[in-house]
């Protein structure tokens, strides 16, 4: 879904609210445990524009890379993607979001509502008042039914067969 993403929204940091995601690398085997393994430069020493993994940040501008491109730059330099932020390690990347190799937390549980949705009937007939859709109506407990209740909303009752 986000393979081509090169920028991330960061309110209040840059004028347009978006910042380029910076690349940083770590020595292999120490990707998340040793701050000294962090490299924002290919050689880990200089901060010249040509040594910074995504170029030196000037006015918030760096070479915009996808995750795959950033990973390839690390691999080409004999390094790995980091499992940490390399804050303060050069190239003026502290104001940028940074790529990591940390997996995202697992997503929400699958929807209890079937893929095609489920009809909501009036309680006194088989007249449909609407349809609950997965990933849209998961938390819905009330449904608008005009003329039935004062506020126009009725709680959806459970019934088992």
Domain limits, the chain: 1-103, 118-155
70/96 Cα distance (integer angstroms): 14
**What radius of gyration do the chain's Cα atoms show?**
25
Specify whether the CB–CB gap between 28 and 79 falls below 8 A.
yes
C-alpha distances (whole Å) from 30 to each of 82, 94, 99 are 8, 21, 16
Which residues make beta-bridge pairs with 19?
A: 8
Query: Does the model's pTM come out above 0.85?
Result: no
Mean residue pLDDT across the chain: 80
Q: pLDDT by residue (tens digit) across 62-108?
A: 888 889 999 999 999 999 999 998 998 888 888 888 889 998 888 77
């Amino acid at each position: 879904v986000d393979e081509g993403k090169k920028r991330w929204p960061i309110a209040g940091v840059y004028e347009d609210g978006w910042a380029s995601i910076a690349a940083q690398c770590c020595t292999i085997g120490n990707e998340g445990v040793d701050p000294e393994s962090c490299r924002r430069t290919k050689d880990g020493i200089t901060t010249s524009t040509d040594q910074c993994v995504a170029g030196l940040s000037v006015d918030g501008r760096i070479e915009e890379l996808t995750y795959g491109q950033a990973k390839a730059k690390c691999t080409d330099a004999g390094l790995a993607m980091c499992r940490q932020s390399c804050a303060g390690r050069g190239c003026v990347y502290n104001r940028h979001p940074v790529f990591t190799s940390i997996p995202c937390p697992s997503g929400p549980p699958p929807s209890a509502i079937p893929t095609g949705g489920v009809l909501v009937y009036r309680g006194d007939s088989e007249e449909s008042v609407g349809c609950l859709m997965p990933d849209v109506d998961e938390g819905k407990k009330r449904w608008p039914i005009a003329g039935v209740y004062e506020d126009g909303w009725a709680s959806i009752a459970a019934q088992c067969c």
